[in-house]
Structures are given as structure tokens and as C-alpha cells.
């Protein structure tokens, strides 16, 4: 039970490193106990991985429970409690499944006789990176280990410019592995080996862990300290509106009216400050594309002649999309970005042909949006821009591909109803995307945090939660190409190739 407690406790420590916490440094040691426990036999091995995963993801994603209560949507209190509990449990176990697979893989690696511990560290790192890459291809993804360093450790986050967030994750796993091997070298054969030799063997691993941390941070610091050297011609004065219309209010007619009032007055104020464009949050105007022209906000656009990026609903036949509509100063919708990654059960039903009727009976949410198709970037009056709506922010490849032609990131979200942790983690994800792509980022969120982030991940401005804001800020368009933008996540395939070569059985010497 003591060792299970160690696994659970170290998992909680890892979960505590996610924003809004400021103890990011614990991530560099919080995986080491689980790594050590892969060599233990006292309990069924999956118990350790299960405990660590529940501690990490249960704590780090506990904000999911913020969907309760949903009584404002007509859901009874107990039913709301059940839905929230199911969502948190399922997401926690989904993240834990990655930990279990990694644990089993590392146990398999440990089963190889006389395996060099240095090779074991590299293989364990490759396995975790490969699993994160695999999970990032699914519709449920949020918390790579790299996220533990955002928004505070800007130096190490700059490793993301090399091969995306996997580079940061790999660094964290590598250091934890070296620390674990150092501990195992010290306690191993302690009844037969003398103390001094064990100390020397342990020091080699611990020293390598310390050296790795220093070297990796020096590399990141070099990238962080490169001057941005922005050209005046690339500057844009852009406006951000944080309407501060809570989800509970938005559900009623009074919410529609408040949203229209806040976004219209915010647009007029920003237009009079001379901005080139105004950004609104996700579904700021809860209207279909064909209905926008009948709103006071649209009339304000015709009067002030300033481009607006409007969160609303696009239309594809009889279905709707969660979209950002680009409306120019003449009132024409000249482009539209449709949300690419929809939230399962919240915005669409997985395997709808089989589960649709069942989910409709247990979920109060509108689960029938149409996902957008990927576009390299979106042409607007400000140039080619990179767009993301809410859950898109968790998928770095989406932004990388757009950054090959896009010059500025614009994200829109609605993080209301989740307390402080979820908006802070969302901000952390967008900050990572800014660094990886070397782009200025403009965030508009319904109730916060709205922000402006420079390409080095420095937050130039950020709103407070639960306040109305109409903010004008100067940003810059960029056409640089980081190694990650050019070549993608090349590190994971390289590491996984080494892992596969290791697990392939050796060819018999007498084979033809």
C-alpha cells in the first residue's frame, strides 16, 4: 500500500504542475517514482500506473466537474451531478490508459536481461513520446507533459520550435528516467555491493539528469533571447472584445440581448480607436450566418467600416458549424473558418449512427455540429491568418500546418462555467502554439482569459476573469518558419524507430 501511495502522490504532484499552478518544476521529478516502480513486483503492476494516472489527470482535469450544476439548462440536479461525474471519470481514465500502456512497455523493456540502463532511459522516453503522438491523433487530447511548463518556463517551451511539444515532453521524461535510474543504482544490490561504488554509479545518472536540465534550458534560452526585430509595415492595431456573458445567461433571451449590447458597444469603441479589425469570442453572436445581417452588431459594421472576426454559426445545408466569420467594412462575409476539432458529446456524437439516440437521452448538450475541413490558412483583409476555436488549441499540428502560410494566430473560445483552472490551461496551450509557430497570438474569450501573446510566449496583455473588456493592442504579422513548422514532429518517429528496432527479435545467425 505504501508504494501505491507513492504512485498516487507523485501523480498528484504532476497534476498540480498544470496551470494555474506555478510549481512547474515538480514535473522534472514527479514521473521518477513511477519509473522506479516498473521494477517492483510486490503488487500487480497496473496498480501503480492506475494510481499515478488517476492522481495526475484526476487532479489536473478536475475543472471538468465545473459543468455541474446544469440546472440552468433544465437538467435535474442529481442528473447533472451524474453527468459531471461520468465526464471527469472517463477523461481521467482515458489519460490514465496512456500511462498504463507506457508502464507495460517499460516493464517489457526491463524484462530484457542485462539491458544497459542508459538505453532503457532512451527507450522509455521514446515510448512516452510515441504514445502522446498517438493520443494526439484522437478526439480526446488535452494534457501533454509539455503543458506542465506553460506558461512559466519559457526557455524550455522554446524547444517546441524544434519538433513541437514532443521535444519538451521528451526532455521531461528523459530527466525523470535518469533520476529514477540513479536511485535504482544506489539501492540495487545494497546487500552485496559496497556503498562507495553504488554512490559513484548513482552519481553518473543524477549528474546526467542535472546536466541535461542545464543544457536543455541553455538551448531554449538561446532561442528565447533572439530579438523579434518586427518591421513597422507588419504591424496591426487589433481590437479584442471580452463580452462577459455567462453561459447561464446566454441560454435565455436576456442573454442574447446582453451579448448584442456588449459586443456592439465594444465594437464601436474599438472602431473609434482606429483598430484594423475586431475579434470576438467563440459564438459571441449566437446566430446563424444568414441571420447576422439583422443584428445591431452588423449595422455597426456598416457604420464604422472596420473588419470584424465574428464568432457565430456557419451553415452547410441544414447543418451548422461553430465558426469565425470574417466580415469586411462593407458588410460582406469574405471568409469563414469552421471549428476543426469538435468536443465529443458536447458538440458531436461519436459513432452517431449507433449511439445517437442513446446519447440524446442522457446529454442535454447540442451534439450535432458539423466539423470544419482543414484549410492551410484563411485569407482576410489583414492577410493570411491562422485561426483556432476553443478545443482546436489542444492540437499543435493544426496550427503548424496553417503557419506555413499564415502570419498571425487568432483564437476564439468560451471558457465560462469552468472556474479558473480551465481558462488558465487554455491560455497555456495557446501560449505554446505561439512559441512553436513563432507567431503573435490574439485570444478572445467570452469570460477570460483574453490575451495578446508575442512569439516568445510573453503575455503582453491579459484580461481578468468575469469582466467586460474592449481592448486595442498592436501585434505583428510574421512569415518566419521554425524547424517545427517546416518539418513537423520529426523527433517522435526517430525515437520510435529506435524503439521498434529494439523490440524486433534478433535474426538467427544461421538464417539464410
Q: C-alpha cell of 244? A: 462577459
Looking at the structure, tell me whether residues 237 and 222 fall in a common domain.
no
Looking at the structure, tell me whether residues 406 and 496 fall in a common domain.
no
Preceding peptide of 20 cis, ω within 30°? yes
Looking at the structure, tell me whether residues 294 and 318 fall in a common domain.
yes
pLDDT at 193: 62
Looking at the structure, tell me whether residues 286 and 381 fall in a common domain.
yes
Nearest CA to 175 out of 136, 148, 140 is that of 148
List 56, 87, 129, 390, catalytic entry: 390
pLDDT at 317: 86
Instruction: Please confirm, yes or no, whether 390 is among the known catalytic residues.
Output: yes
The model's pTM is 0.93
Looking at the structure, tell me whether residues 173 and 60 fall in a common domain.
yes
Looking at the structure, tell me whether residues 36 and 120 fall in a common domain.
yes
* pLDDT tens readout for residues 75-86: 788 877 888 888
- The CATH number given to whatever domain includes residue 472 is 3.60.110.10
Q: Count how many residues are written for the chain.
A: 512
* pLDDT tens readout for residues 185-208: 888 765 556 777 788 889 999 999
Beta bridge partners of 441: 409, 453
Average pLDDT over residues 243-248: 86
- pLDDT of 210 over the 80 cut: yes
* pLDDT tens readout for residues 457-488: 999 999 999 999 999 999 999 999 999 999 99
256 found inside a domain:
yes
- Degrees, nearest 5: CA angle 34-433-280: 125
150 found inside a domain:
yes
In angstroms, the CA 405 to CA 83 distance is: 41
512 found inside a domain:
no
493 found inside a domain:
yes
483 found inside a domain:
no
Q: Is 19 left (phi over 0), alpha (psi -120 to 50) or beta?
A: beta
- Degrees, nearest 5: CA angle 76-80-86: 150
* pLDDT tens readout for residues 408-446: 999 999 998 788 899 999 999 999 999 999 999 999 999
Looking at the structure, tell me whether residues 41 and 177 fall in a common domain.
yes
373 found inside a domain:
yes
51 found inside a domain:
yes
510 found inside a domain:
no
Pairing of strands 319-327, 277-279: unpaired
List 339, 341, 407, 436, catalytic entry: 339
Looking at the structure, tell me whether residues 247 and 198 fall in a common domain.
no
Looking at the structure, tell me whether residues 54 and 145 fall in a common domain.
yes
Name the more confident of 231 and 170.
170
Looking at the structure, tell me whether residues 323 and 391 fall in a common domain.
yes
Instruction: Please confirm, yes or no, whether 129 is among the known catalytic residues.
Output: no
Q: C-alpha cell of 267? A: 465594437
Domain span at residue 88 reads 2-227+489-503
Average pLDDT over residues 108-121: 85
Contact by Cβ (8 Å): 153, 146? no
List 282, 347, 407, 436, catalytic entry: 282
Question: Count of domains in the chain?
Answer: 2
Beta bridge partners of 335: 326
Instruction: Please confirm, yes or no, whether 319 is among the known catalytic residues.
Output: no
When pLDDT is cut at 50, 70 and 90, the band that residue 361 belongs to is very low
Looking at the structure, tell me whether residues 24 and 99 fall in a common domain.
yes
When pLDDT is cut at 50, 70 and 90, the band that residue 349 belongs to is low
Looking at the structure, tell me whether residues 80 and 200 fall in a common domain.
yes
Amino acid at each position: 500500500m505504501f508504494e501505491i501511495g507513492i504512485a498516487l502522490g507523485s501523480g498528484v504532484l504532476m497534476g498540480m504542475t498544470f496551470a494555474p499552478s506555478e510549481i512547474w518544476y515538480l514535473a522534472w521529478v514527479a514521473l521518477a517514482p513511477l519509473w522506479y516502480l516498473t521494477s517492483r513486483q510486490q503488487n500487480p503492476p497496473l496498480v501503480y500506473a492506475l494510481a499515478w494516472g488517476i492522481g495526475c489527470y484526476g487532479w489536473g482535469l478536475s475543472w471538468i466537474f465545473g459543468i455541474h450544476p446544469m440546472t440552468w439548462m433544465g437538467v435535474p440536479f442529481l442528473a447533472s451531478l451524474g453527468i459531471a461525474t461520468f465526464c471527469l471519470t472517463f477523461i481521467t481514465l482515458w489519460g490514465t490508459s496512456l500511462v498504463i500502456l507506457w508502464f507495460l512497455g517499460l516493464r517489457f523493456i526491463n524484462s530484457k536481461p542485462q539491458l544497459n540502463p542508459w538505453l532503457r532511459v532512451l527507450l522509455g522516453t521514446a515510448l512516452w513520446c510515441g504514445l502522446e503522438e498517438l493520443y494526439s491523433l484522437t478526439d480526446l487530447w488535452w494534457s501533454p507533459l509539455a503543458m506542465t511548463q506553460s506558461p512559466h518556463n519559457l526557455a524550455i517551451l522554446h524547444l517546441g520550435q524544434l519538433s513541437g511539444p514532443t521535444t519538451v515532453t521528451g526532455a521531461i521524461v528523459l530527466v525523470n528516467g535518469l533520476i529514477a535510474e540513479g536511485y535504482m543504482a544506489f539501492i540495487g544490490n545494497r546487500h552485496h555491493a559496497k556503498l562507495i561504488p553504488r554512490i559513484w554509479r548513482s552519481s553518473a545518472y543524477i549528474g546526467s539528469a542535472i546536466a541535461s536540465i542545464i543544457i536543455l534550458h541553455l538551448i531554449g534560452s538561446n532561442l528565447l533571447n533572439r530579438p523579434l526585430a518586427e518591421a513597422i509595415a507588419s504591424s496591426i492595431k487589433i481590437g479584442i472584445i471580452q463580452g462577459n456573458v455567462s453561459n447561464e445567461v446566454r441560454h435565455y433571451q436576456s442573454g442574447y440581448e446582453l451579448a448584442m449590447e456588449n459586443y456592439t458597444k465594444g465594437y464601436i469603441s474599438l472602431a473609434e480607436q482606429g483598430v484594423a479589425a475586431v475579434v470576438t469570442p467563440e459564438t459571441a453572436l449566437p446566430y446563424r450566418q444568414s441571420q447576422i445581417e439583422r443584428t445591431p452588431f452588423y449595422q455597426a459594421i456598416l457604420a464604422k467600416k472596420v473588419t470584424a472576426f465574428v464568432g457565430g454559426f456557419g451553415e452547410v445545408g441544414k447543418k451548422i458549424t461553430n465558426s469565425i466569420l470574417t466580415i469586411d467594412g462593407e458588410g460582406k462575409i469574405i471568409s469563414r473558418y469552421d471549428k476543426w476539432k469538435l468536443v465529443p458529446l458536447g458538440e458531436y456524437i461519436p459513432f452517431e449512427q449507433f449511439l445517437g439516440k442513446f446519447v440524446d437521452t442522457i446529454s442535454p448538450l447540442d451534439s450535432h455540429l458539423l466539423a470544419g475541413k482543414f484549410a492551410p490558412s484563411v485569407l482576410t483583409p489583414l492577410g493570411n491568418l491562422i485561426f483556432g476555436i476553443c478545443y482546436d488549441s489542444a492540437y499543435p499540428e493544426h496550427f503548424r500546418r496553417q503557419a506555413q502560410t499564415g502570419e498571425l494566430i487568432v483564437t476564439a473560445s468560451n471558457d465560462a462555467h469552468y472556474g479558473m483552472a480551465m481558462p488558465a490551461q487554455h491560455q497555456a496551450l495557446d501560449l505554446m502554439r505561439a512559441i512553436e509557430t513563432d507567431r503573435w497570438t490574439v485570444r478572445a474569450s467570452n469570460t477570460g482569459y483574453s490575451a495578446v501573446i508575442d512569439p516568445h510566449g510573453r503575455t503582453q496583455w491579459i484580461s481578468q476573469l468575469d469582466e467586460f473588456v474592449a481592448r486595442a493592442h498592436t501585434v505583428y504579422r510574421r512569415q518566419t518558419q521554425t524547424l517545427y513548422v517546416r518539418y513537423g514532429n520529426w523527433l517522435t518517429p526517430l525515437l520510435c524507430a529506435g524503439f521498434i528496432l529494439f523490440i524486433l527479435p534478433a535474426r538467427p545467425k544461421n538464417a539464410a
